[in-house]
Amino acid sequence: MSNHNKIRPVDKNNLNGQYKILFSSPQTPNSNIPKEFRGLQIFPNKIKAEEALRNRKKLTKTLKEKRAKGMIGNKNALGNSGGDKSNLIQYNPQIQKLKNNKIKRAKELYKEGYKKSEIMRIIIKEFKLKRDINSRSWPKWLSEIE
């Protein structure tokens, strides 16, 4: 039984006091979930807690729809049969060359003093990638360039 997303009184003997909600916390530091919807949150009354829970559920629905739209046209597993990873599109030599060029350019920009979010925007423009410039998450290789 999950304790997440349930409104409970802080003090079980005082039902007119403060209320708490335990929201789940994302495992990644760069998440689209605001800090106000992460971990244990205390609210002055039940009405505020109910409003926060409604807003969090609405945000979850929005993020799921956004994620589903982002997966449309995803061709990473194109041609994969029987769990053979050698024929995945990301192992294509051209794709690997592009990835290595992006990593090399990212390291150059990092040494020049750019922040990772700036580096991502520059790489999207320079390599003419089909990715949202204002994306708040970056690929794993970018988080490991330090």
| pTM more than 0.75 | no
Check residue 72 and report its DSSP letter.
Answer: T
C-alpha to C-alpha distance for 117 and 112, rounded to whole angstroms: 14
What are the contacts of 1-10 at 24+ separation with CB within 8 A?
5/53, 5/56, 5/57, 7/46, 7/49, 7/50, 7/53, 10/42
Contact (CB, 8 A) for 26 and 33: yes
Q: What pLDDT, on a 0 to 100 scale, did the predictor assign at position 77?
A: 58
In this structure, what token pair is assigned to residue 64? 């799921």
Per-residue pLDDT of the chain (146 residues; tens, 9 = 90+): 678 888 889 988 877 789 999 998 888 878 888 889 999 999 999 999 999 999 999 999 998 888 877 777 766 656 555 556 666 777 788 888 988 898 899 999 999 999 888 888 888 889 888 877 676 677 777 777 76
Sheet holding 39-43, edge to edge: 7-9, 19-23, 39-43
Contact (CB, 8 A) for 19 and 8: yes
Q: What pLDDT, on a 0 to 100 scale, did the predictor assign at position 87?
A: 66
C-alpha to C-alpha distance for 129 and 30, rounded to whole angstroms: 21
Give the side-chain half-sphere CA count within 13 A for 27.
Answer: 0
